[in-house]
């Protein structure tokens, strides 16, 4: 999937973007499974120290990407169709993370290099 297909809005450093990224990561890594309930918007806002509207915005981004479904009585749950990365990819990401941490690499640098390599591969196709 290209970054733009699942990319959140352009406000890269916003609190809503950070909440979106964290939940997206939990879903795509399989740590939050299909049908699992997310915390309420109010609880998420409290956990992240943001206004409820900010948390609601993040949930809207997740809905837009069809990662979650919100129903009044059932709350917000991980979609049955949410794409989960294959276990082999998650394993390699964990290995990369452990190695990068062991040598003191900066997370932002590792992610930046991954994005550059990903974009070059996508362009080559």
pLDDT digits (tens, 9 = 90+) for 44-92: 999 999 999 999 999 999 999 999 999 988 899 999 888 788 878 888 9
Contact yes or no for 97/87 (Cβ under 8 A): no
**Would you tell me how many other CB atoms lie within 10 Å of the CB of residue 66?**
13
pLDDT of residue 78: 94
pTM for the complete prediction? 0.69
Statement: residue 7 has pLDDT above 60: no
- Average per-residue pLDDT in the chain? 87
DSSP code string of 77-107: EE-TT-----HHHHHHHHHHHHHHHHTT--H
pLDDT of residue 2: 36
The span from the first CA to the last CA of the chain, in angstroms, equals 13
């Amino acid at each position: 999937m290209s970054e733009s297909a699942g990319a959140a809005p352009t406000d890269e450093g916003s609190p809503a973007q950070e909440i979106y990224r964290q939940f997206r990561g939990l879903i795509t890594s399989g740590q939050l499974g299909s049908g699992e309930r997310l915390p309420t918007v109010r609880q998420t806002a409290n956990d992240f120290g943001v206004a409820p509207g900010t948390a609601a915005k993040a949930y809207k981004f997740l809905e837009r990407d069809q990662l979650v479904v919100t129903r009044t009585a059932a709350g917000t749950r991980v979609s049955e169709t949410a794409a989960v990365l294959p276990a082999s990819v998650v394993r390699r990401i964990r290995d990369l993370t452990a190695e990068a941490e062991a040598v003191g690499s900066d997370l932002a640098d590792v992610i930046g290099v991954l994005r550059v390599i990903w974009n070059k591969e996508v362009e080559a196709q």
